Chains A and B, each alone.
Chain A
Amino acid sequence: MPVILVSSDNQDFKVDKEVAERSILIKNMLEDVGESDSPIPLPNVTAAVLTKVIEYCEHHRNDPVQVPEETDDPRKRSNDIEEWDMKFMQVDQEMLFEIILAANYLDIKPLLDVGCKTVANIIKGKTPEEIRKAFNIVNDFTPEEEAQIKKENEWAEDR
């Protein structure tokens, strides 16, 4: 049975229920509404982003559902990204963050994890200044704070 999703720019997307329910938000909405043909509005997700999200969910429609307890354990994180996911995430930075925001809103944890791993890979190996430049972040430390933090990091690495 197909489900109709409506993006923030009023574009309709017809997807299989099984695919749509990769989103816990949508799954819960469908359970609350019951059997209904009403389209589901997604005011926080544009059509372009929703297209990508649906593509991801289609590809992973048969994946086992992740157990929340296992994924919340900080000791069990893996940095592996499957090849398909890696290619899927080869988008510009704006789209990358849009996908992350959409995955967070729609509660699609595997997609959120892949997005965050991708961002982490961008960060790795960069200096603080390079990170700021990459994400356009303003340095709000005072010079004294910066010196203190730098000192703390030195002996922390020396530990």
Chain B
Amino acid sequence: MTSSNSEAIAIPEILQNVFLHLDRPSLHACARVSRLWRSWSLHVSWLIYHIPSQDIIDFLAQRCVHTRIVDGASERDQETDSEGCQLIQSKKPRFVREFKKQCFRIQSLTVGDDSHSELAVMRTIDKDVFPKWASALPIGLVNLVHLRFGLYCLTHAPIDSTFSADIIAGLISQNPNLQHLEFFSYRQPSYRVLFTALRSSPLQQLRRLELCCGLEDNGLSELLDLLATRSKFEHAEQDQERSSEPATASWNLEELIIRRRGGSSFERFVRDSRKSTAPPRPVAVRKLTLFNFCLAVYLHEQEEDESGRFQIDWSLIYHLCRRFPVLQRLQLSSDIPIDYMPSPVSFENHIYSFLRDLDEFEPFVIWNPEELAMAIIKACPKLTAIDLSHHRELHPEDWDLLLQHYAPRLESLSAWNVDQLHPQELMRLVPPSPTIVSRFGVHPSQKWVGLQELDISANSSLAPAIHMFLKFVPTLRHFKALSVPVEANQLLGFDWVCTNLETLAIHILIPTQAWPECEIWHWDVGKDRWRLIGDDMDEDEYEYLGMDAKLPFPPTVQESGNGGRQEDSSSDSESNSTHDSDTDTASASDTDSESDSSSNSDTSDSESDTDSSSDSEGSGDEDSASVITELALKRASKVATPKKRLTHSMQIQIAICQQLGRLTRLKELTLEGREDYRYDNKEWDCLHLTLRTGLDYLRPLQTNLQKLVIFQLDEELCGQEEMEWIAQNWVHQDNKAWQRAFKTHRSSSLEPPGSNGSPAAALGEEGVTPILLCPKFRELLGVSVCGKRQVSAREANMNAAWLEGQCPQLKVEKDVTGNRESFFYGQYQDY
């Protein structure tokens, strides 16, 4: 054995690091390698432990038996210790013994059930025979770093509630190094049990506290006062005052999460905060999350002023922000996205099915404009992440003020289902184009931290702003715009700069023909912001910007690294001198104005883009024609069907796929869109994800793509060639043995491999055992198997089954829904 091998493996930290990446069966194998390996594999396998609700009695309780002794005329109760839990255990004794022996290794413990959305009742057995039992925590369970307590007791079982309260109190008191504490409860045990335990335990390492329980009455105030007492603000004051009382151990609490449940009402907190004359006691928490609180609950008795508005100090947000002066992340919304799983139900409909409260109280903006925003800015000047999704408290003016103020440091914005946020306000987060900066010099946006996360789902009015983020915000890593249909024309004509995207969820409308209408943004130097052309402009200015310019078809193919081609230039250059807008000319470079980028009428000499999508309409230069021919020939070798004329829709789809294919860091891609969709006398199509419509351009996504979600897309991915393409390019791209076997099989037969038997067996016919490397691509969710055009439902199912057989780790979820559900697209409302 080489010395470096033995040395590396002998270092405990390295061995542990290796074991942390192993699953349980591998850990068991490692436990049998040598004594050193056994020791560390045991350590790692016990690091994380879960005691389900059903097993709590076995692991954390002991039974007390009361015996009645009749002695003459008197009776007395004698309490005796139990034998342990053996008589009522359902678990084998050796499990419990092993648990008590090894529990000192546990660092992360979940007691109860993992899912807070399910009620899990503790098992009680023979309560009539054994009416009393108590918690009995193993003495070795003292090294917890993370504790999740998810136990639900029924109110009519007080025994259960007392027992569970003892368990949580005991776990907290004997684990002083807890860093992450999660408390999930329904009615019992009450939050007061937790607060009592927290008051009496130092927990100086506590960094994160998550509650999912009722906070009725004054629960929220109690919690914030408890946190204020332990926060370092209080200690600074105490030091200054040289208090004679013993110092309370302080927490360095970073994060507080509260999920409203049951009878939580924050009305009393708001009322008490309004009445209080003392300044609010600050809490030194940097990340605050408040889920699922409803305005209407605590505002039913508010008082309107003369203008019909309400005083700002009735706002829960107002009072909360004043308590958290060092807040960096503010999240006041709903936890729906956390539980939402890709399905035939769209995210938007999912929202409406669970959160109808806002619809019932529309309109619901009740404060004066900008008042709440100014209060937030004043109270929490250091915010870097904002999630005010599903809120109606903020006017558009509030959003404008907030985003303008926080833009330089904002890293994350989540505003799904926020009707009061319009494109104009959202554009506060888009910096001016490089052209503008080079022309007018240094701009403050060059020092912006850069937006990394943006979620604007379920607000279709924001569609006009989407392409601007893809064009001018390179720092984006997570971008979600579910149920926000954006016209493909707006997404073309430039290279998407956000090549660091890891998550993209987008709804793309593919036009079936070229339409001249488009929206254009221009940078207003005077106001230092983007404006929609058409806002506050007269007709002359409108014409100057070439709104009526013909937008010929087809789009050009973008070469990698190209700065992108632009729309017509002549009218733009004239417009620059007439008003403050710096709408750039398109003679040789990017513009910061946006028009329908499928336009190609004034292709300048500097254009190097070629059109890869049109060999039928005669547009594009000669270079593009040769490229198209070359590509077509390559496909022809695979596809037996004769080359057909590419429609406008197909060409747009190809161009979109080209842009998507540049996002090589993508891990999760969600695509939405509907075919044969008609609105306003226009017909729309969607991405079909076939080889003829650009699927092959998505090949570079093989680098990192893990999940493709297409439940809300009318795709045609279930064809034989498409399924084979996925297997070749996203599953087995590095598997040479598989590729050889597949090529051999295809050349000898046109039938899909495995159509007459097991795919693996078919591929093994050549004597080559396919080495199934572990691909990154793990989930294909929502592939339609209902039958489309050339592919019957039977064939679609067969093809999907074949793909599933190619990789056991690949999860293929089929969409058997024939008809799409109705949805609300705002201006694209489906009737």
Contacts and interface: CB of A to CB of B under 8 A. Distances in A.
Interface of A: 69, 73-75, 77, 79-80, 82-83, 93-94, 97-98, 100-101, 104, 112-113, 116-117, 119-121, 123-128, 131-132, 135-141, 146, 149-150, 152-153, 155-157, 159
B7 to A, nearest CB: 6
B9 A149 contact: no
Nearest to B254: A69
A139 B33 contact: yes
A83 B94 CA distance: 44
Contact of B29 (A80, A100, A116, A127): A127
A124 B704 contact: no
A124 B20 contact: no
Nearest to A109: B17
A28 B569 CA distance: 55
Contacts of A117: 21
Interface stretch (B34-42, B505-513, B550-558): B34-42
B28 A140 contact: no
Which of B34, B108, B207 counts the most chain A CB atoms within 10 A? B34
Interface in B1-27: 1-2, 4-9, 11, 13-14, 17-26
Contact of A112 (B17, B25, B94, B95): B17
Contact of B26 (A74, A125, A132): A125
17 contacts: A83-B703, A83-B704, A97-B4, A98-B4, A101-B11, A101-B14, A104-B13, A119-B18, A123-B26, A123-B29, A124-B23, A136-B2, A141-B34, A149-B32, A149-B38, A156-B98, A159-B95
B107 interface: yes
B776 A157 contact: no
Nearest to B25: A157
A94 B2 contact: yes
A139 B108 CA distance: 31
A132 B22 contact: no
A78 B92 CA distance: 33
Contacts of B95: 159
A100 B28 CA distance: 24
B502 to A, nearest CB: 11
B47 interface: yes
B30 A131 contact: yes
B14 A124 contact: no
Interface in B248-264: none
Given A69-B207, A74-B48, A74-B107, A113 B4 contact: no
Contacts of B37: 137
Nearest to B5: A97
Interface of B: 1-2, 4-9, 11, 13-14, 17-26, 28-35, 37-38, 47-48, 92, 94-95, 98, 107-108, 145-146, 179-180, 207, 703-704, 776
A132 B30 CA distance: 9
B359 to A, nearest CB: 37
Contacts of B704: 82-83
Given A75-B48, A149-B32, A153-B32, 8 more contacts: A73-B146, A79-B21, A82-B704, A124-B26, A128-B29, A131-B30, A155-B94, A159-B95
A80 B776 contact: yes
B239 to A, nearest CB: 27
A77 B703 contact: no
Contacts of B48: 74-75
A157 B776 CA distance: 28
A38 to B, nearest CB: 28
Contact of A137 (B2, B9, B29, B107): B9
A42 to B, nearest CB: 15
A53 B21 CA distance: 22
A19 to B, nearest CB: 20
A135 B17 contact: no
A97 B18 contact: no
B35 A141 contact: yes
A131 to B, nearest CB: 5
B8 A97 contact: yes
Contacts of A139: 33-34
A64 to B, nearest CB: 10
Contacts of A126: 26, 29
Contact of A120 (B7, B22, B24): B22
A79 B776 CA distance: 10
A136 B1 contact: yes
A140 B32 CA distance: 10
A124 B22 contact: yes
B22 A137 contact: no
B544 to A, nearest CB: 42
Nearest to A138: B34
A156 B47 CA distance: 15
A100 to B, nearest CB: 5
A145 B179 CA distance: 37
Contacts of B9: 97, 135, 137
